Every structure is written in structure tokens, then in C-alpha cells.
Amino acid sequence: MTAALALARRWVNDYFNRHDAAAARAFCASGYTLEIGDVTLAGRDDTWLPAVDRQMRDYPGLTMTVHETLSGEGWAAIWFSEHGARDGAEAVWSGVAIYREERGLLSGCVAQEDYMTRRRQLKVGRGDPVDRPCIAPWDGAAEAPDREAEAAVLAWLEGSWPKSASIPCDDEHLTRDHLHFDVKRTEVKRMHSAGDRVAFWVRQHGTYRSGIDGLPAAADFLDVNGLLQVADGQIVSGRIIRDRMGLWARLKGAR
């Protein structure tokens, strides 16, 4: 287990699932910064922990299930789901996060969480199924980076959404409602590989076409996190989470 993955394990088990802010202070740097969509929460005690605490008060039994992990020197990525109930209405929403480790502490995280699917479930009061947990999320051995796998992921990200490959994106595999977004340029924010798997955060600049609450087409950007597996230059499995809620908020504000 890499140092970063060991810290991510503590993040999930000791801090998040126990709702224990004191535990987070033991292994997260004071300057811990969360970048999620186009929002940055900088500072462990003044900004980030209070923001998560508000969510934990809203969802008193909030729990995280880990579906896949990947790690290397100084970083660890997790595909996870958060699930809980708010005022009796249940919801489960997935995310992909990449944590940074520096000098034995977690210094930050970049993540996308599918808040739009959470909103959908809360409206009806019934939660979606939780994806199966990873059998041994903390036992993965470190592997060398694979630049060819990274290049294959970048090539797959070109063009437009939806993609033809059968890789689950947000909740589209459940709702069959697809986001249509024409990508003109992909800005790589973070990209890491270990063997044939790649974790990334990219910001895709282009044009929104349709798929979110009937908003009109407009030029904008889309933040995308993913954890993908590559074989023979092709994407064969993985999970994609996009910041549809941020896109919706920006376009709604521009109307």
C-alpha cells in the first residue's frame, strides 16, 4: 500500500464514516484544499471541515462506500459512493476523487460528485442502488505509470458527450437521459496512471447542447473526473463523474 492510499484509507474509515473531524486533523494538513467542480475550499479548519460538517448534519447517517482505488507516489484515487437520508428522503451519489500526499499528510483533493443525481433522488424520496463495494480497496500494489494508457484516455475524451463506449457516466446508465456537450478543447488538470488504469481530472471547454432541465445551448466548460482501465489502446472499464450541477448553475445564472 502506498503512503497516499494508507492516508486515503484513514480519510474514509476514521474521518468520513465516523464523522470525526478530530481524526481528519491528525492526517490532513492545515492548508488542506478541496477543489470540486469550479469551487475551491482552501484551509482545513476554517473552510473545508465546516463545509463537510454541514453536509453531515444534513445527512446524519452519511456513509461512504469505496468501489475502486488506484495509487502511486504522492497520490491516491478513489471511485466511491456517498449515501444517506435527509429528512426521510434517501439518496446515493457517486464521485471520483484524487488525493495528494505530501510529507506524510494529505494536502488536498480534487473531486467531482454527482450532486444532480442526488437532487433527482431527493425529489422522489427513494434512493438508487449502491454499486458493489471493492473487495479489498486498500490492498492494491503500486505499479509504474503508463504514458500510453494516459494517451488512450486523452484520445477517448476528445469529441463530444455522450460517448459510444459503455462506460457509466454520472447516472445515465440508470436514467437513460444523456448530456450532450461538444468538446473543443480538453485542459488536463490532473492525470495519474498505475499500470493499465488512469485517474484524471480534466476541464473540457466547448458547447452545451442539451440534457439538463431544458437549458438552451451555450458555450461553457465541463469538469470531468474519471478512473478508467485501458487494454490494447481501448477504454474497457471504469467510471466517469462530471460536474453537471456546476454546468447547470452557470448556465441558469446566465439566462
Which tens digit of pLDDT belongs to each residue from 65-102? 999 999 999 999 999 999 999 999 999 999 999 999 99
Domain residues for the domain of 85 are: 3-124
In a domain, 189, yes or no: yes
pLDDT of residue 252: 87
What is the percent of the chain where pLDDT is above 70? 99
In a domain, 136, yes or no: no
* Average pLDDT of the segment spanning 30-58: 97
* Average pLDDT of the segment spanning 197-211: 97
pLDDT of residue 166: 82
Q: What average pLDDT is seen over the chain?
A: 96
In a domain, 178, yes or no: yes
Q: SS3 for 6? A: helix
Angle between helices 244-254 and 115-124 (to 10 degrees): 80
Per-residue confidence at 16, pLDDT binned at 50, 70, 90? very high
Domain CATH number, residue 172 = 3.10.450.50
In a domain, 239, yes or no: yes
Residue-wise pLDDT tens digits, 58-74: 999 999 999 999 999 99
* Average pLDDT of the segment spanning 21-35: 98
Per-residue confidence at 253, pLDDT binned at 50, 70, 90? confident
Domain boundary among 93, 124, 155: 124
Question: Are 179 and 228 in a shared domain?
Answer: yes
Question: Are 75 and 166 in a shared domain?
Answer: no
pLDDT of residue 140: 83
In a domain, 65, yes or no: yes
Question: Are 98 and 151 in a shared domain?
Answer: no
In a domain, 186, yes or no: yes
Question: Are 11 and 77 in a shared domain?
Answer: yes
Question: Are 182 and 116 in a shared domain?
Answer: no
Per-residue confidence at 245, pLDDT binned at 50, 70, 90? very high
Question: Are 15 and 110 in a shared domain?
Answer: yes
* Average pLDDT of the segment spanning 109-113: 98
Question: Are 120 and 151 in a shared domain?
Answer: no
In a domain, 67, yes or no: yes
pLDDT of residue 148: 97
DSSP character at residue 13: I
Question: Are 188 and 100 in a shared domain?
Answer: no
* Rounded alpha-carbon distances, angstroms, from residue 223 to 12, 92, 194: 23, 20, 22
Q: Which amino acid is at 137?
A: P
Question: Are 10 and 44 in a shared domain?
Answer: yes
Question: Are 189 and 82 in a shared domain?
Answer: no
In a domain, 250, yes or no: yes
Domain boundary among 73, 92, 124: 124
pTM, full prediction: 0.96
Domain boundary among 60, 93, 124: 124
Question: Are 67 and 166 in a shared domain?
Answer: no
Strand (E) positions, the chain? 28-36, 39-42, 63-72, 75-86, 89-102, 105-113, 160-161, 180-194, 197-210, 218-231, 234-242
More confident residue, 1 or 148: 148
Task: Count how many residues are written for the chain.
Answer: 255
pLDDT of residue 254: 60
Question: Are 92 and 177 in a shared domain?
Answer: no
Count how many domains the chain has: 2
- pLDDT at residue 195 is higher than 60: yes
Residue-wise pLDDT tens digits, 119-165: 999 999 999 999 999 999 999 888 999 999 999 999 999 999 999 76
